[in-house]
Amino acid sequence: MQSVGESAAAYRRRRWPTTDAEVTRSTVSYLVGGKRHYEPQITYTYRVGDDVYINDRLWFGSSLFLRQRSALEMANRYPVGAHLRVSYSPEDPHSSVIQPGIQSESIAKVGLAAGIMLAVWLLGNVRRPFARAMP
């Protein structure tokens, strides 16, 4: 999950310049940890000025999926040989991303985390109207 700081940084990055890129690899990796996760692996090459770069970042934040089908759908959007636009950092062209900005699932996760923290705070700080003082 992205932190609020990471989400703010991703929001600013949506204004990065873009350039043409070509997909050179498109697969899905299966990761085992506490839970099963699937990660689309999309590698692309792009040029900034006279320099050629290679990267595999889809977006800022986690690109793990719990369902294999979702990861495959993402990988299928970017088949090998596909041409696309990527956003890159003007200060460091090695840093690039296919989908700049904040992803909708990141917004939902931050909202859910904020809601849970608010609920916990309310439970600990709001007096119960029917509670009686012990003698």
Check residue 109 and give its pLDDT: 45
> 4: part of which helix (H) or strand (E)?
helix 4-13
Tell me whether residue 132 is in a domain.
Answer: no
- Helices 104-125 and 4-13, packing angle to 10 deg: 150
Task: Look up the CATH number of the domain holding residue 90.
Answer: 2.40.50
Tell me whether residue 120 is in a domain.
Answer: yes
Tell me whether residue 10 is in a domain.
Answer: yes
On whether the CB atoms of residues 100 and 13 are closer than 8 A, the answer is: yes
Tell me whether residue 101 is in a domain.
Answer: yes
Tell me whether residue 53 is in a domain.
Answer: yes
Residue 15 neighbours by CB distance under 10 Å: 10
On whether the CB atoms of residues 28 and 70 are closer than 8 A, the answer is: no
Tell me the pTM: 0.66
Q: Which domain holds residue 105?
A: 4-125
Check residue 30 and give its pLDDT: 86
- pLDDT profile of the chain (135 residues), mean per 10: 49 79 94 80 96 91 81 93 95 91 48 59 62 56
State how many domains the chain has: 1
On whether the CB atoms of residues 3 and 62 are closer than 8 A, the answer is: no
Check residue 86 and give its pLDDT: 95
Residue with tokens 């636009």: 85
Tell me whether residue 60 is in a domain.
Answer: yes
Check residue 43 and give its pLDDT: 96
Residue 76 neighbours by CB distance under 10 Å: 11
Tell me whether residue 79 is in a domain.
Answer: yes
Tell me whether residue 130 is in a domain.
Answer: no
Residue 119 neighbours by CB distance under 10 Å: 10
